[in-house]
Structure 1
Amino acid sequence: MAQTAPSPPQMTIIYSMDALLGDRFSMGRVPTGQERIVIPIVGGTFKGPKMSGKVLDLGADWRLTDANDRRRTYIYVRTIGLPPGADGRTMLRGEFETSTNGTYAWLNDVAAVGVMTRNGTSSVHIDMWQVSI
């Protein structure tokens, strides 16, 4: 049986983000013998075709309903990166978590890849894409 050539997935930009970084610190050696370095994200902005907003300096999914019953959706983003390439850019895998009944609930089921570029030690730029078939 002849096989057809595989079709590559489609890529749609989710957002471009500029994240501000705080002072890095070491948590010391971890059980694997490696050193855990923490680089706090202390703010920034992101913008895409379906979303835009501020980057908060906390790592959690929080939903707030105000006195007028308006909901504020917060999105938890986790990225896992590969070692930087020769050009200094880093490939990322993105995972999202947010309210299941909010405007951005679609993010909970997204397969995402990104590219991070460092801007010295004070900020990074990340372009994140949704991958679909």
Structure 2
Amino acid sequence: MKPVLETRYVFTITARIGEVISAGDTGAGVRRVIPVIGGEVKGEGISGRVLASGADFQIIRPNELIELEAKYAFETDDGAVIYVENVGIRFGPVELLQKLKRGEPVDPKLIYFRTRPRFETGHPNYQWLTTHLFIGSAARHADRVVIDVHQVL
């Protein structure tokens, strides 16, 4: 019998995003910077607000594969500041990715968007975030990115 990898849902990050800043085609792909301007975190035992504190740095490859690296922070309702570093990829049919780029709605189930969030904090109530691995299943909307975070058990 093959071993099974188990996860459990822990919270959702809804990061509101600003206007896309493009550095153009750098030879490796199109470099984009998308500011994180706020949002919220909600889950069992954790809630708070995403701080206007960072951005998502992306490279769009010629085949429309998007490699992303987001860095930002959120503050919990009890005052803990948690730094987030989230690396991932987004890929799907070219016509749907083009719609997303134009800010048009696309069914998230039709786009593969997965991330590997990593957290840092000195607050004792949230040390469990620093000692476990997490994966995220994400969806891009015109004004926000929604990431369902799952702990790898």
Shared fold (TM-score greater than 0.5)? yes
Query: Deviations along 1:73-107, whole A, 9 cap, x unmatched?
Result: 111111111232451240111111111x5211110
In structure 1, C-alpha distance between the alignment counterparts of 2:89 and 2:28, rounded to whole Å: 19
In structure 2, the CA distance between the partners of 1:62 and 1:56, relative to structure 1 (3 Å rule), is closer
Decide which of 19, 32, 38 is 1:37's aligned counterpart: 32
Q: Does 1:84 align with 2:85?
A: no
Structure (1/2) with the larger strand percentage: 2
Match of 2:11 in 1: 15
In structure 2, the CA distance between the partners of 1:38 and 1:124, relative to structure 1 (3 Å rule), is same
Instruction: State how many pairs are aligned.
Output: 118
Consecutive unaligned residues in structure 2, runs of 5 or more: 55-71, 94-109
Structure (1/2) with the larger helix percentage: 2
Aligned residues with identical type, % of pairs: 31
Structure with more contact order per residue of length (Cα contacts < 8 Å, sep ≥ 6): 1
Select the structure of larger CA radius of gyration: 1
Q: Secondary structure of the residue that 1:57 maps to in structure 2?
A: coil
In structure 2, the CA distance between the partners of 1:97 and 1:27, relative to structure 1 (3 Å rule), is farther
Consecutive unaligned residues in structure 1, runs of 5 or more: 64-70
- Matched letter for residue 19 of structure 1: A
Match of 2:2 in 1: 6
Aligned partners of 1:88 and 1:118 also within 8 Å:
no
TM-score by length of 2: 0.67
